[in-house]
Homo-oligomer: A and B are copies of this chain.
Amino acid sequence: MIRARTESRIAFVELARLDKKNALTGEMYGQLADAISGADRDPQARVVLLRGAPDCFCAGNDVADFLKRPPLVEGSPSARFFVAMQEIRKPIVAAVGGPAVGIGTTMLLHCDLVYVADDARLAMPFTSLGLVPEFASSLIVPQLMGNARAAEKILLGDPFTGADAVEVGIANAVLPANEVVNHARRIAERFNALPPGAVRDTKKLMRRARSQAALETIAVEGKVFAERLQSPEAKEAFSAFFQKRKPDFSKF
């Protein structure tokens, strides 16, 4: 469900569970972690190109799998993915089209260059599920766009377009849907003409102010997230989700 291959010094990592809109299962988190760490070790790879399908990047966590999964603890597949994304020394270029929901958006905060299709639809709707933001988004989103716009995106959970993602600094550029992957690939190829050691050291310097705070935030968020999963609010949200009805939070 995760495809990984290296070609022309680019490590392609592709979400490929199209029948489920690339919703991530625990197994897929583990495969993603392995693909990212593997690309970092691969002497043939200078850069990672992370993508989904052209019309669907990632619909978020697979809800059914998610409820069965153990919480985010050290060594769990999602924790391994979070750490791999923090530790990779090589640049990650992301190509995003269609839905990018929950983790589908928050993982972009940890990529280096992000290109989005004009049909991209991003969202971090954690609160409406009775949950809280993850993957350090509660730290990074306000720092990136200020409290006011961050509140729209992670307190209200408003969806936003590719153009919005550029405006708030999540993405570099918006492109026609059928050109996003090729554009991201051309950007990735540019790293072949740059000295790889200088690129790695620069990425490391750019991240040092943030990576420790990000890992600490991930741990705090994970603890609150696990508590909230057990909350009556979340139970109502998930029950409504599976019953395909509108949740009722008026009693809380």
Contacts and interface: CB of A to CB of B under 8 A. Distances in A.
Interface of A: 91, 109, 111-114, 126-133, 138-139, 141-152, 154-157, 169-172, 187, 190-199, 201-203, 205-206, 208-210, 213, 217, 220-221, 224, 228, 231, 233-234, 236-237, 247, 249-250, 252
Contacts of A149: 169, 172
User: When A and B form their complex, which 9 residue pairs have the shortest distance between CB atoms, in order from nearest?
Assistant: A146-B169, A195-B233, A138-B205, A112-B151, A127-B198, A195-B249, A130-B195, A144-B146, A130-B198
A224 B203 CA distance: 12
Contacts of A151: 91, 112-113, 172, 206
Contacts of A192: 250
A117 B144 CA distance: 25
Residue with the greatest number of chain B CB neighbours at <10 A, chosen from A111, A155, A171:
A155
A93 to B, nearest CB: 9
Main secondary structure of the interface of A (DSSP, over half): helix
A129 B197 CA distance: 11
A156 B91 CA distance: 10
A202 B132 contact: yes
A62 B168 CA distance: 36
A191 B250 CA distance: 10
A148 B197 CA distance: 20
A155 to B, nearest CB: 6
A183 to B, nearest CB: 13
A137 to B, nearest CB: 9
Contacts of A114: 148
Contacts of A213: 209
A234 B224 CA distance: 47
18 contacts: A109-B147, A112-B148, A113-B151, A126-B198, A129-B198, A130-B195, A132-B198, A132-B202, A133-B202, A138-B206, A142-B210, A146-B169, A148-B171, A149-B172, A155-B206, A198-B233, A205-B224, A209-B213
